[in-house]
């Protein structure tokens, strides 16, 4: 009888942790037996234990309780309190009726969503980033307790997150069935482009790129270069997009100064997308690569994800 009571208590505790009101922060994984089916619809904010400390995620559950998931990665200036995907695009509404759980990791500015060699030595970072470990081990294990599959997943990202999405998919093919990059920096080992990465990390938080991937020529640079690792992506459905730097109506709210900067950044992203496209084409690897009108700005990334949406749902069987 005591054993039965303990099992009942575990189930009740699990229900309390997983059925909180929308927006409530849940700080522990479900207790007791694993939940075999994800919650059907709704939005939550959860806190996931990790080697980096507690990491917040924003989650929109699959509309009909399906087990598929889409990881959506932020850009270089990822805020500490939310994913810009949820505030600057209509992604939540666009996928609201789809049977796929959207997962937005929060934070990780200047991280490139990779495992760093050591904490950044130029800004007193307390501990090293371990984002690859988080996204491919700790987060899938945590979400498995909510009925989310460890292997039936897609991953996409914008800007910094775009290259990271392809890199993570390349090295963890057992986990991802689709990958997408929107204005990603897809060839960081190309001559002098490493200096652009150095400058970007310094500008966003005074991070030291040498503490991330070591000096130029270190194997970590090649490992995190999607163009170099293209062979590992063979057979994976992919969508790569970038703008040509031409501004349009979506740029108007951002002002002239920001738009000029976004034009230059996107012209570089377009070159990277073409280089990646040429590489996979040379290898005979199918991938959709689009160069469209637009700049390095959130409305265009929202449009890119809208374009990718049917491809994602097809790859996951999550209609």
Whether 30 contacts 15, CB under 8 Å = no
pLDDT digits (tens, 9 = 90+) for 241-300: 999 999 999 888 888 888 898 999 999 999 999 999 999 999 999 999 999 999 999 999
User: Alpha-carbon distance 149 to 146, whole Å?
Assistant: 9
Q: What is the CATH number of the domain that holds 259?
A: 3.40.50.1820
Question: Which one is catalytic: 111, 159, 181, 183?
Answer: 159
> Most distant CA pair in the chain: distance in Å?
71
The answer as to whether 165 is a domain residue is yes
Residue-range definition of the domain harbouring residue 250: 34-316
Low-confidence ranges of the chain (pLDDT < 50): 1-35
Which DSSP symbol is given to 69? E
Tell me how many domains the chain contains: 1
The answer as to whether 274 is a domain residue is yes
Which pLDDT does position 72 carry in this prediction?
98
The answer as to whether 227 is a domain residue is yes
The answer as to whether 29 is a domain residue is no
The answer as to whether 18 is a domain residue is no
Residue whose C-alpha is closest to residue 55's, from 125, 118, 151, 130: 130
pLDDT digits (tens, 9 = 90+) for 149-182: 999 999 999 999 999 999 999 999 999 999 999 9
The answer as to whether 22 is a domain residue is no
Residue 296 known to be catalytic: yes
The answer as to whether 232 is a domain residue is yes
- Evaluate the CA torsion angle 204, 208, 212, 213 in order and state its sign: positive
Task: Tell me the pTM.
Answer: 0.88
């Amino acid at each position: 009888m005591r054993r039965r009571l303990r099992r009942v208590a575990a189930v009740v505790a699990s229900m309390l942790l997983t059925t909180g009101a929308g927006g409530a922060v849940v700080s522990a994984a479900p207790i007791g037996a694993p939940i075999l089916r994800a919650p059907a619809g709704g939005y939550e904010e959860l806190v996931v234990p990790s080697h980096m400390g507690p990491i917040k995620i924003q989650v929109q559950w699959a509309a009909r309780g399906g087990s598929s998931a889409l990881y959506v990665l932020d850009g270089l200036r990822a805020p500490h309190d939310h994913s810009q995907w949820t505030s600057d695009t209509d992604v939540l509404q666009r996928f609201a009726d789809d049977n796929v759980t959207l997962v937005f990791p929060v934070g990780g500015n200047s991280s490139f969503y990779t495992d760093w060699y050591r904490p950044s030595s130029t800004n007193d970072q307390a501990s090293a980033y371990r984002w690859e470990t988080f996204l491919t081990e700790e987060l899938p294990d945590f979400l498995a307790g909510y009925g989310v599959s460890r292997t039936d997943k897609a991953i996409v990202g914008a800007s910094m997150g775009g290259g990271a999405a392809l890199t993570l998919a390349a090295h963890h093919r057992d986990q991802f069935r689709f990958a997408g990059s929107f204005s990603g920096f897809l060839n960081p080992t190309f001559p002098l482009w490493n200096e652009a990465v150095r400058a970007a990390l310094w500008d966003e938080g005074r991070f030291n790129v040498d503490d991330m991937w070591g000096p130029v020529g270190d194997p970590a640079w090649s490992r995190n270069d999607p163009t170099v690792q293209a062979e590992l992506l063979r057979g994976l459905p992919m969508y790569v997009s970038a703008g040509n730097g031409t501004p349009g109506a979506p740029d108007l709210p951002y002002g002239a100064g920001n738009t000029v900067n976004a034009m230059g950044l996107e012209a570089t992203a377009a070159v990277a997308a073409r280089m990646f496209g040429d590489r996979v084409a040379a290898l005979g690897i199918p991938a959709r690569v689009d160069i469209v009108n637009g700049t390095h700005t959130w409305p265009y990334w929202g449009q890119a994800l809208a374009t990718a949406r049917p491809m994602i749902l097809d790859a996951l069987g999550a209609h």
